Structure 1
Amino acid sequence: MRITTLGTSHGDHTYCRFNSSTLYEIGDQSYLVDCGEPVNGLMIRANKPFGQLQAVFVTHMHEDHVGGLPDLIKALVKRPRTEGGTTVFLPEVEAQAGLDGWLRAMHVAWPSPVVTFGVTTEGPVYDDSLLSVAAVPTEHMAPLGAPSFAYVLEAEGKRIVTTGDLRGDFADFPEVIRQERCDLCICEITHYKPEVALPLLMACPIDRLILNHVHDPWHGEGEARLRAIMADLPYPVEIAHDGDEFTL
Protein backbone atom coordinates (compact mmCIF):
# COMPACT_ATOMS: atom_id res chain seq x y z
CA MET A 1 0.00 0.00 0.00
CA ARG A 2 1.26 3.48 -0.89
CA ILE A 3 0.06 6.60 0.92
CA THR A 4 0.63 10.08 -0.50
CA THR A 5 -0.04 13.13 1.65
CA LEU A 6 -1.02 15.44 -1.19
CA GLY A 7 -1.93 18.38 1.07
CA THR A 8 -0.87 18.69 4.71
CA SER A 9 -1.85 22.15 5.95
CA HIS A 10 -4.46 23.23 8.49
CA GLY A 11 -7.40 25.58 7.79
CA ASP A 12 -5.33 27.84 5.54
CA HIS A 13 -2.78 27.28 2.82
CA THR A 14 0.75 28.25 3.82
CA TYR A 15 4.00 28.97 1.99
CA CYS A 16 4.82 25.25 1.94
CA ARG A 17 1.55 23.37 2.50
CA PHE A 18 -1.90 23.14 0.87
CA ASN A 19 -5.17 22.01 2.48
CA SER A 20 -5.74 18.43 3.57
CA SER A 21 -5.95 15.50 1.16
CA THR A 22 -4.39 12.05 1.44
CA LEU A 23 -4.35 9.42 -1.31
CA TYR A 24 -4.22 5.68 -0.58
CA GLU A 25 -3.16 3.38 -3.45
CA ILE A 26 -3.89 -0.34 -3.17
CA GLY A 27 -3.16 -2.44 -6.21
CA ASP A 28 -4.44 -0.50 -9.22
CA GLN A 29 -7.11 1.38 -7.24
CA SER A 30 -6.91 4.58 -5.22
CA TYR A 31 -8.93 6.24 -2.45
CA LEU A 32 -8.92 9.74 -0.99
CA VAL A 33 -9.44 10.82 2.59
CA ASP A 34 -10.44 14.49 2.44
CA CYS A 35 -10.20 16.70 -0.61
CA GLY A 36 -9.09 20.17 0.36
CA GLU A 37 -7.85 22.50 -2.35
CA PRO A 38 -6.09 22.03 -4.72
CA VAL A 39 -6.49 18.24 -4.72
CA ASN A 40 -7.21 18.10 -8.45
CA GLY A 41 -3.96 19.84 -9.36
CA LEU A 42 -1.95 17.93 -6.78
CA MET A 43 -3.12 14.60 -8.20
CA ILE A 44 -2.13 15.73 -11.69
CA ARG A 45 1.32 16.89 -10.55
CA ALA A 46 1.87 13.62 -8.69
CA ASN A 47 0.78 11.65 -11.79
CA LYS A 48 -2.11 10.00 -9.94
CA PRO A 49 -4.77 8.89 -12.47
CA PHE A 50 -8.33 10.03 -11.81
CA GLY A 51 -9.52 6.87 -13.52
CA GLN A 52 -8.25 4.78 -10.59
CA LEU A 53 -10.12 6.72 -7.89
CA GLN A 54 -12.67 4.39 -6.31
CA ALA A 55 -13.94 6.48 -3.41
CA VAL A 56 -13.54 9.71 -1.45
CA PHE A 57 -14.09 9.83 2.33
CA VAL A 58 -14.67 13.28 3.85
CA THR A 59 -13.98 13.66 7.58
CA HIS A 60 -16.06 16.81 8.05
CA MET A 61 -17.48 19.71 6.09
CA HIS A 62 -14.94 22.43 6.86
CA GLU A 63 -13.64 24.01 3.66
CA ASP A 64 -10.03 22.95 4.18
CA HIS A 65 -11.15 19.30 4.01
CA VAL A 66 -13.75 19.52 1.24
CA GLY A 67 -13.07 22.73 -0.71
CA GLY A 68 -11.43 20.91 -3.61
CA LEU A 69 -14.35 18.54 -4.16
CA PRO A 70 -16.16 20.50 -6.93
CA ASP A 71 -12.97 20.70 -9.00
CA LEU A 72 -12.22 17.03 -8.30
CA ILE A 73 -15.70 16.04 -9.48
CA LYS A 74 -15.20 18.08 -12.66
CA ALA A 75 -12.01 16.10 -13.30
CA LEU A 76 -13.78 12.79 -12.62
CA VAL A 77 -16.55 13.69 -15.07
CA LYS A 78 -13.97 14.54 -17.74
CA ARG A 79 -11.77 11.50 -17.00
CA PRO A 80 -14.12 8.81 -15.64
CA ARG A 81 -13.14 5.38 -14.45
CA THR A 82 -13.14 2.77 -17.19
CA GLU A 83 -15.27 0.46 -15.04
CA GLY A 84 -17.79 1.72 -12.53
CA GLY A 85 -17.65 5.18 -11.00
CA THR A 86 -16.36 7.04 -7.97
CA THR A 87 -18.34 7.21 -4.73
CA VAL A 88 -18.04 10.28 -2.50
CA PHE A 89 -18.93 9.81 1.16
CA LEU A 90 -20.09 13.05 2.80
CA PRO A 91 -20.61 13.39 6.57
CA GLU A 92 -23.77 15.50 6.20
CA VAL A 93 -26.69 14.50 3.99
CA GLU A 94 -27.57 18.17 3.41
CA ALA A 95 -24.18 18.82 1.83
CA GLN A 96 -25.07 17.16 -1.46
CA ALA A 97 -27.75 19.69 -2.39
CA GLY A 98 -25.32 22.59 -2.03
CA LEU A 99 -22.68 20.73 -4.00
CA ASP A 100 -25.17 19.92 -6.77
CA GLY A 101 -26.06 23.60 -7.06
CA TRP A 102 -22.45 24.74 -7.25
CA LEU A 103 -21.55 22.16 -9.91
CA ARG A 104 -24.46 23.34 -12.04
CA ALA A 105 -23.41 26.96 -11.47
CA MET A 106 -19.97 26.06 -12.85
CA HIS A 107 -21.65 24.41 -15.88
CA VAL A 108 -20.15 21.01 -15.14
CA ALA A 109 -21.98 18.23 -17.02
CA TRP A 110 -24.02 17.42 -13.95
CA PRO A 111 -25.53 15.19 -12.66
CA SER A 112 -23.29 12.44 -13.96
CA PRO A 113 -23.50 8.67 -13.51
CA VAL A 114 -19.73 8.49 -12.94
CA VAL A 115 -19.98 10.09 -9.46
CA THR A 116 -22.35 8.83 -6.78
CA PHE A 117 -22.76 9.78 -3.13
CA GLY A 118 -22.99 8.04 0.21
CA VAL A 119 -23.47 9.44 3.70
CA THR A 120 -20.95 8.61 6.42
CA THR A 121 -22.42 7.32 9.68
CA GLU A 122 -20.79 5.56 12.61
CA GLY A 123 -19.66 2.02 11.84
CA PRO A 124 -18.91 0.29 8.52
CA VAL A 125 -18.98 2.70 5.58
CA TYR A 126 -17.37 0.93 2.64
CA ASP A 127 -16.06 -2.46 1.58
CA ASP A 128 -14.72 -3.73 -1.72
CA SER A 129 -12.32 -6.51 -2.58
CA LEU A 130 -9.33 -4.39 -1.53
CA LEU A 131 -10.34 -1.98 1.23
CA SER A 132 -12.81 -1.78 4.10
CA VAL A 133 -13.55 1.51 5.86
CA ALA A 134 -15.33 2.23 9.14
CA ALA A 135 -16.17 5.62 10.65
CA VAL A 136 -15.62 6.67 14.26
CA PRO A 137 -17.32 9.89 15.47
CA THR A 138 -15.17 12.71 16.82
CA GLU A 139 -16.23 15.98 18.43
CA HIS A 140 -14.40 18.55 16.33
CA MET A 141 -17.68 19.93 14.94
CA ALA A 142 -19.76 19.47 18.10
CA PRO A 143 -19.94 23.23 18.87
CA LEU A 144 -21.65 23.66 15.49
CA GLY A 145 -24.00 20.72 15.97
CA ALA A 146 -22.44 18.95 12.99
CA PRO A 147 -20.74 15.55 12.64
CA SER A 148 -17.07 14.79 12.16
CA PHE A 149 -15.33 11.44 11.82
CA ALA A 150 -12.09 9.53 12.04
CA TYR A 151 -11.72 6.63 9.60
CA VAL A 152 -10.37 3.12 10.14
CA LEU A 153 -9.01 1.67 6.89
CA GLU A 154 -8.10 -2.00 6.57
CA ALA A 155 -6.32 -3.47 3.55
CA GLU A 156 -3.61 -6.03 2.81
CA GLY A 157 -3.70 -7.18 6.43
CA LYS A 158 -2.91 -3.66 7.69
CA ARG A 159 -4.98 -1.31 9.83
CA ILE A 160 -4.70 2.47 9.47
CA VAL A 161 -6.53 5.03 11.59
CA THR A 162 -6.73 8.60 10.28
CA THR A 163 -8.11 10.93 12.92
CA GLY A 164 -9.47 13.88 11.00
CA ASP A 165 -9.64 17.01 13.15
CA LEU A 166 -10.00 16.67 16.92
CA ARG A 167 -10.91 18.70 20.01
CA GLY A 168 -8.45 21.02 21.67
CA ASP A 169 -8.18 18.78 24.72
CA PHE A 170 -7.52 15.63 22.61
CA ALA A 171 -10.32 13.86 24.50
CA ASP A 172 -11.95 12.56 21.31
CA PHE A 173 -8.81 10.78 20.07
CA PRO A 174 -10.46 7.60 18.75
CA GLU A 175 -10.99 4.87 21.31
CA VAL A 176 -10.13 2.21 18.73
CA ILE A 177 -6.52 3.45 18.68
CA ARG A 178 -6.31 3.36 22.45
CA GLN A 179 -7.48 -0.24 22.71
CA GLU A 180 -6.48 -2.02 19.49
CA ARG A 181 -3.14 -2.17 17.72
CA CYS A 182 -2.87 -0.24 14.47
CA ASP A 183 -0.06 -0.42 11.94
CA LEU A 184 -0.30 3.29 11.27
CA CYS A 185 -2.02 6.31 12.79
CA ILE A 186 -2.25 9.51 10.76
CA CYS A 187 -3.06 12.23 13.29
CA GLU A 188 -3.72 15.92 12.90
CA ILE A 189 -1.37 18.30 14.78
CA THR A 190 -3.23 21.63 14.74
CA HIS A 191 -6.09 21.72 17.22
CA TYR A 192 -4.30 20.66 20.40
CA LYS A 193 -0.96 21.21 22.07
CA PRO A 194 1.36 18.22 21.62
CA GLU A 195 2.12 18.18 25.34
CA VAL A 196 -1.58 17.56 26.03
CA ALA A 197 -1.62 14.51 23.75
CA LEU A 198 1.64 12.90 24.87
CA PRO A 199 0.41 10.97 27.93
CA LEU A 200 -2.36 9.32 25.90
CA LEU A 201 -0.15 8.66 22.88
CA MET A 202 2.48 7.03 25.09
CA ALA A 203 -0.01 4.32 26.07
CA CYS A 204 -1.46 3.59 22.62
CA PRO A 205 -0.54 0.37 20.74
CA ILE A 206 0.55 2.24 17.61
CA ASP A 207 3.30 0.87 15.36
CA ARG A 208 3.92 4.11 13.47
CA LEU A 209 2.63 7.70 13.74
CA ILE A 210 2.45 10.28 10.96
CA LEU A 211 1.57 13.84 11.97
CA ASN A 212 -0.54 15.61 9.36
CA HIS A 213 -2.72 18.75 9.11
CA VAL A 214 0.29 20.63 10.42
CA HIS A 215 -0.13 23.90 12.35
CA ASP A 216 2.01 26.98 11.64
CA PRO A 217 4.34 26.64 14.67
CA TRP A 218 5.56 23.30 13.30
CA HIS A 219 6.44 24.54 9.80
CA GLY A 220 10.03 25.12 8.75
CA GLU A 221 12.37 25.35 11.73
CA GLY A 222 9.46 24.46 14.02
CA GLU A 223 9.68 20.85 12.85
CA ALA A 224 12.73 20.31 15.02
CA ARG A 225 10.85 21.52 18.11
CA LEU A 226 7.93 19.20 17.35
CA ARG A 227 10.26 16.24 16.85
CA ALA A 228 11.89 16.97 20.19
CA ILE A 229 8.51 17.05 21.94
CA MET A 230 7.52 13.71 20.41
CA ALA A 231 10.92 12.05 20.81
CA ASP A 232 9.99 9.92 23.84
CA LEU A 233 7.10 8.13 22.13
CA PRO A 234 7.80 4.37 21.90
CA TYR A 235 7.29 4.17 18.12
CA PRO A 236 8.50 6.04 15.01
CA VAL A 237 7.01 9.51 14.46
CA GLU A 238 7.09 11.28 11.09
CA ILE A 239 5.89 14.73 10.04
CA ALA A 240 4.09 14.74 6.69
CA HIS A 241 4.79 17.25 3.93
CA ASP A 242 2.91 17.90 0.71
CA GLY A 243 3.78 15.17 -1.76
CA ASP A 244 5.39 12.78 0.73
CA GLU A 245 4.93 9.08 -0.05
CA PHE A 246 4.80 6.38 2.62
CA THR A 247 4.77 2.63 2.09
CA LEU A 248 2.99 0.23 4.42
Structure 2
Amino acid sequence: MTARITTLGTSHGSHTYCRFNTATLVEVGDVSYLIDAGSPASALMLRGEKRIQPLRGVFLTHMHEDHAGGLPGVIKALLKAPDPGQHTDVFLPEVEARAGLEAWLVAIRLRWPSPLVTLRTVRDGPIYEDDLISLEATRTKHLSDRYGPASFSYRMTIGDKRIVFTGDLSSDFSDFPAFAKSEPCDLCVCEMTHFPPEAALPTLMDSPIGRLVFNHIHDPWHGPGEARLRAFFDELPYEFHIAHDGDEFEV
Protein backbone atom coordinates (compact mmCIF):
# COMPACT_ATOMS: atom_id res chain seq x y z
CA MET A 1 0.00 0.00 0.00
CA THR A 2 1.25 3.47 -0.89
CA ALA A 3 1.71 6.08 1.82
CA ARG A 4 1.81 9.81 1.14
CA ILE A 5 3.91 11.93 3.49
CA THR A 6 3.27 15.69 3.55
CA THR A 7 5.66 17.97 5.40
CA LEU A 8 3.00 20.46 6.48
CA GLY A 9 5.44 22.59 8.50
CA THR A 10 9.23 22.40 8.30
CA SER A 11 10.67 25.14 10.54
CA HIS A 12 12.65 24.91 13.76
CA GLY A 13 11.68 26.48 17.10
CA SER A 14 10.25 29.62 15.48
CA HIS A 15 8.20 30.34 12.39
CA THR A 16 10.21 31.96 9.60
CA TYR A 17 9.40 33.93 6.47
CA CYS A 18 9.08 30.68 4.50
CA ARG A 19 8.36 27.93 7.04
CA PHE A 20 5.88 27.17 9.83
CA ASN A 21 6.50 24.91 12.84
CA THR A 22 6.97 21.18 12.48
CA ALA A 23 4.09 18.88 11.55
CA THR A 24 4.15 15.89 9.19
CA LEU A 25 1.06 14.12 7.85
CA VAL A 26 1.06 10.48 6.73
CA GLU A 27 -1.88 9.36 4.58
CA VAL A 28 -2.52 5.65 4.08
CA GLY A 29 -5.59 4.85 2.02
CA ASP A 30 -8.47 6.93 3.35
CA VAL A 31 -6.99 7.58 6.80
CA SER A 32 -4.14 9.66 8.16
CA TYR A 33 -1.68 10.08 11.02
CA LEU A 34 0.13 13.18 12.28
CA ILE A 35 3.69 13.24 13.57
CA ASP A 36 4.04 16.41 15.66
CA ALA A 37 1.54 19.26 15.67
CA GLY A 38 3.43 22.52 15.61
CA SER A 39 1.19 25.43 14.76
CA PRO A 40 -0.70 26.00 12.58
CA ALA A 41 -1.05 22.26 11.87
CA SER A 42 -4.83 22.15 11.44
CA ALA A 43 -4.79 25.24 9.20
CA LEU A 44 -2.06 23.74 7.03
CA MET A 45 -4.11 20.56 6.65
CA LEU A 46 -7.08 22.66 5.58
CA ARG A 47 -4.99 24.68 3.13
CA GLY A 48 -3.60 21.46 1.68
CA GLU A 49 -7.14 20.07 1.26
CA LYS A 50 -6.48 17.35 3.83
CA ARG A 51 -9.62 16.40 5.76
CA ILE A 52 -9.03 16.18 9.49
CA GLN A 53 -11.81 13.69 10.28
CA PRO A 54 -9.82 10.64 9.01
CA LEU A 55 -6.99 11.41 11.45
CA ARG A 56 -6.54 8.23 13.49
CA GLY A 57 -3.46 9.16 15.49
CA VAL A 58 -1.38 12.14 16.57
CA PHE A 59 2.11 11.33 17.85
CA LEU A 60 4.19 14.09 19.43
CA THR A 61 7.96 13.59 19.57
CA HIS A 62 8.30 15.98 22.53
CA MET A 63 6.43 18.81 24.22
CA HIS A 64 8.32 21.85 22.94
CA GLU A 65 5.86 24.43 21.63
CA ASP A 66 7.09 24.19 18.04
CA HIS A 67 6.04 20.52 18.02
CA ALA A 68 2.96 20.68 20.26
CA GLY A 69 1.59 24.23 20.00
CA GLY A 70 -0.90 23.40 17.26
CA LEU A 71 -2.39 20.41 19.08
CA PRO A 72 -5.33 22.30 20.68
CA GLY A 73 -6.31 23.52 17.21
CA VAL A 74 -6.13 19.98 15.84
CA ILE A 75 -8.35 18.71 18.66
CA LYS A 76 -10.81 21.57 18.14
CA ALA A 77 -11.07 20.69 14.44
CA LEU A 78 -11.61 17.01 15.28
CA LEU A 79 -14.49 17.87 17.62
CA LYS A 80 -16.17 20.46 15.43
CA ALA A 81 -17.78 18.36 12.66
CA PRO A 82 -17.05 14.68 13.25
CA ASP A 83 -17.77 11.85 10.85
CA PRO A 84 -19.73 8.82 12.09
CA GLY A 85 -17.41 6.45 13.93
CA GLN A 86 -14.56 8.95 14.03
CA HIS A 87 -11.90 8.52 16.73
CA THR A 88 -8.35 9.79 17.24
CA ASP A 89 -5.66 8.63 19.67
CA VAL A 90 -3.32 11.44 20.76
CA PHE A 91 0.03 10.32 22.17
CA LEU A 92 1.79 12.73 24.52
CA PRO A 93 5.48 12.12 25.31
CA GLU A 94 5.21 13.09 28.99
CA VAL A 95 2.66 12.07 31.61
CA GLU A 96 2.67 15.61 33.01
CA ALA A 97 1.52 17.05 29.68
CA ARG A 98 -1.97 15.61 29.99
CA ALA A 99 -3.27 17.78 32.83
CA GLY A 100 -2.02 20.97 31.20
CA LEU A 101 -3.50 20.10 27.82
CA GLU A 102 -6.86 19.17 29.29
CA ALA A 103 -7.00 22.37 31.34
CA TRP A 104 -6.35 24.42 28.21
CA LEU A 105 -8.99 22.54 26.18
CA VAL A 106 -11.52 23.41 28.89
CA ALA A 107 -10.25 27.00 29.09
CA ILE A 108 -10.83 27.54 25.37
CA ARG A 109 -14.39 26.23 25.80
CA LEU A 110 -14.16 22.97 23.93
CA ARG A 111 -16.55 20.18 24.86
CA TRP A 112 -14.01 18.24 26.83
CA PRO A 113 -13.58 15.41 27.63
CA SER A 114 -14.82 13.90 24.39
CA PRO A 115 -15.33 10.32 23.23
CA LEU A 116 -13.83 11.39 19.90
CA VAL A 117 -10.29 11.78 21.29
CA THR A 118 -8.30 9.60 23.69
CA LEU A 119 -5.10 10.90 25.29
CA ARG A 120 -2.31 8.36 25.77
CA THR A 121 1.33 8.44 26.87
CA VAL A 122 4.33 7.42 24.78
CA ARG A 123 6.70 4.77 26.10
CA ASP A 124 9.71 2.95 24.67
CA GLY A 125 8.80 0.18 22.24
CA PRO A 126 5.57 -0.52 20.33
CA ILE A 127 2.87 2.03 21.15
CA TYR A 128 0.22 1.82 18.42
CA GLU A 129 -1.22 -0.64 15.92
CA ASP A 130 -4.30 -0.72 13.74
CA ASP A 131 -5.23 -2.52 10.53
CA LEU A 132 -2.88 -0.35 8.43
CA ILE A 133 0.16 0.70 10.47
CA SER A 134 2.17 -0.02 13.57
CA LEU A 135 4.34 2.50 15.40
CA GLU A 136 7.22 2.08 17.81
CA ALA A 137 9.13 4.67 19.82
CA THR A 138 12.68 5.03 21.06
CA ARG A 139 14.01 7.72 23.36
CA THR A 140 16.32 10.52 22.23
CA LYS A 141 18.57 12.81 24.26
CA HIS A 142 17.02 16.04 22.98
CA LEU A 143 15.32 16.62 26.34
CA SER A 144 16.59 15.62 29.75
CA ASP A 145 14.97 12.49 31.16
CA ARG A 146 15.42 13.72 34.73
CA TYR A 147 11.68 13.42 35.29
CA GLY A 148 11.19 10.47 32.95
CA PRO A 149 11.29 9.90 29.19
CA ALA A 150 10.52 13.14 27.37
CA SER A 151 11.63 13.01 23.72
CA PHE A 152 11.30 10.26 21.13
CA SER A 153 11.95 9.06 17.59
CA TYR A 154 9.32 6.94 15.83
CA ARG A 155 9.32 4.15 13.28
CA MET A 156 6.11 3.55 11.35
CA THR A 157 5.58 0.22 9.59
CA ILE A 158 3.05 0.05 6.76
CA GLY A 159 2.97 -3.47 5.34
CA ASP A 160 6.54 -4.08 4.21
CA LYS A 161 7.46 -0.38 4.27
CA ARG A 162 9.19 1.50 7.08
CA ILE A 163 9.32 5.23 7.74
CA VAL A 164 11.50 6.76 10.47
CA PHE A 165 10.81 10.14 12.08
CA THR A 166 13.78 11.24 14.15
CA GLY A 167 12.17 14.05 16.11
CA ASP A 168 14.71 16.47 17.57
CA LEU A 169 18.13 15.05 18.40
CA SER A 170 21.20 15.99 20.43
CA SER A 171 23.98 18.27 19.23
CA ASP A 172 26.39 15.38 18.52
CA PHE A 173 23.84 13.26 16.61
CA SER A 174 24.64 10.32 18.90
CA ASP A 175 20.95 9.58 19.47
CA PHE A 176 20.05 9.09 15.82
CA PRO A 177 17.69 6.14 16.29
CA ALA A 178 19.28 2.71 16.35
CA PHE A 179 16.46 1.23 14.27
CA ALA A 180 17.42 3.58 11.43
CA LYS A 181 21.09 2.60 11.67
CA SER A 182 20.66 -1.16 11.88
CA GLU A 183 17.57 -1.95 9.78
CA PRO A 184 16.59 -0.65 6.33
CA CYS A 185 13.91 2.00 6.06
CA ASP A 186 12.23 3.28 2.92
CA LEU A 187 12.13 6.88 4.12
CA CYS A 188 13.75 8.76 6.99
CA VAL A 189 12.44 12.18 8.00
CA CYS A 190 15.31 13.77 9.91
CA GLU A 191 15.53 17.10 11.69
CA MET A 192 18.22 19.58 10.61
CA THR A 193 18.61 22.14 13.40
CA HIS A 194 20.30 20.82 16.53
CA PHE A 195 23.60 19.54 15.12
CA PRO A 196 26.12 20.63 12.48
CA PRO A 197 25.92 18.72 9.19
CA GLU A 198 29.41 17.31 9.66
CA ALA A 199 28.28 15.59 12.88
CA ALA A 200 25.52 13.75 11.03
CA LEU A 201 27.27 12.81 7.80
CA PRO A 202 29.24 9.72 8.94
CA THR A 203 26.18 8.11 10.54
CA LEU A 204 23.93 8.93 7.60
CA MET A 205 26.52 7.57 5.15
CA ASP A 206 26.47 4.19 6.92
CA SER A 207 22.72 3.89 7.54
CA PRO A 208 20.55 1.69 5.29
CA ILE A 209 18.15 4.47 4.28
CA GLY A 210 16.22 4.35 1.02
CA ARG A 211 15.46 8.07 0.86
CA LEU A 212 16.14 10.91 3.30
CA VAL A 213 14.02 14.01 3.91
CA PHE A 214 15.42 16.80 6.06
CA ASN A 215 12.83 18.87 7.94
CA HIS A 216 12.88 21.15 11.02
CA ILE A 217 15.29 23.30 9.03
CA HIS A 218 17.55 25.77 10.88
CA ASP A 219 17.88 29.41 9.80
CA PRO A 220 21.32 29.10 8.14
CA TRP A 221 19.84 26.62 5.65
CA HIS A 222 16.93 28.79 4.52
CA GLY A 223 16.99 30.65 1.21
CA PRO A 224 20.51 30.83 -0.25
CA GLY A 225 21.79 28.63 2.59
CA GLU A 226 19.94 25.65 1.16
CA ALA A 227 22.61 25.20 -1.51
CA ARG A 228 25.31 25.08 1.17
CA LEU A 229 23.39 22.45 3.12
CA ARG A 230 22.89 20.41 -0.03
CA ALA A 231 26.63 20.49 -0.70
CA PHE A 232 27.34 18.96 2.73
CA PHE A 233 25.33 15.87 1.85
CA ASP A 234 26.01 15.46 -1.87
CA GLU A 235 28.09 12.36 -1.22
CA LEU A 236 25.25 10.43 0.43
CA PRO A 237 24.70 7.11 -1.37
CA TYR A 238 20.95 7.64 -1.63
CA GLU A 239 18.43 10.30 -2.62
CA PHE A 240 17.85 13.15 -0.18
CA HIS A 241 15.56 16.19 -0.07
CA ILE A 242 15.42 19.42 1.94
CA ALA A 243 11.72 19.70 2.71
CA HIS A 244 9.57 22.81 2.40
CA ASP A 245 6.10 23.39 3.79
CA GLY A 246 3.58 21.40 1.76
CA ASP A 247 6.04 19.06 0.03
CA GLU A 248 4.74 15.53 -0.62
CA PHE A 249 6.63 12.24 -0.80
CA GLU A 250 5.34 8.72 -1.53
CA VAL A 251 6.59 5.36 -0.36
Q: TM-score, normalised by structure 2?
A: 0.97
Within-5 A mapping of 1:27-66:
27-66=29-68
Matched with 2:119 is 117
Q: Deviations over 1:154-210 (max 9, x none)?
A: 003210111000000001011111111111111000000001111111111111100
Matched with 1:4 is 6
Q: What's the RMSD between the two structures over aligned residues?
A: 1.0
Q: Among residues 75, 85, 98, which one is paired with 1:73 in the alignment?
A: 75
Q: Which amino acid aligns with 1:86?
A: T
Q: Among residues 148, 152, 163, which one is paired with 2:151 in the alignment?
A: 148
SS at match of 1:32: strand
Q: Which amino acid aligns with 1:39?
A: A
Residue 226, structure 1, aligned to residue 238, structure 2: no
Q: Distance in 2 between matches of 1:160 and 1:2?
A: 11
Matched with 1:169 is 172
Q: Which amino acid aligns with 1:157?
A: D
Q: Deviations over 1:104-155 (max 9, x none)?
A: 1111111111111111000001000001000011110027645100000000
Matched with 2:104 is 102
Structure 2 unmatched ranges of 5 or more: none
Percent sequence identity is 58
> Is the 2:53–2:86 contact (alpha carbons within 8 Å) kept by the matching residues of 1?
no
Q: Which amino acid aligns with 1:204?
A: S
> Is the 1:50–1:79 contact (alpha carbons within 8 Å) kept by the matching residues of 2?
no
| Runs (4+) off by over 3 Å | 143-146
Q: Distance in 1 between matches of 2:99 and 2:144?
A: 22
Q: Which amino acid aligns with 1:167?
A: S
Q: Deviations over 1:55-85 (max 9, x none)?
A: 0000000000000011111111102242241
> Offset at 1:238?
0.3
SS at match of 1:50: coil
SS at match of 1:35: coil
Q: Distance in 1 between matches of 2:103 and 2:23?
A: 23
Q: Which amino acid aligns with 1:23?
A: L
> Is the 1:51–1:82 contact (alpha carbons within 8 Å) kept by the matching residues of 2?
no
Q: Among residues 6, 16, 22, which one is paired with 1:14 in the alignment?
A: 16
Q: Distance in 1 between matches of 2:73 and 2:150?
A: 24
Q: Which amino acid aligns with 2:130?
A: D
SS at match of 2:102: helix
Q: Which amino acid aligns with 2:237?
A: P
Q: Which amino acid aligns with 1:182?
A: C
Q: Distance in 2 between matches of 1:130 and 1:218?
A: 35
> Offset at 1:50?
1.1
Structure 1 unmatched ranges of 5 or more: none
Q: Deviations over 1:76-108 (max 9, x none)?
A: 110224224111000111111111111111111
SS at match of 1:22: strand
Q: TM-score, normalised by structure 1?
A: 0.98
Q: Which amino acid aligns with 1:89?
A: F
Moved more, 6-15 or 111-120: 111-120
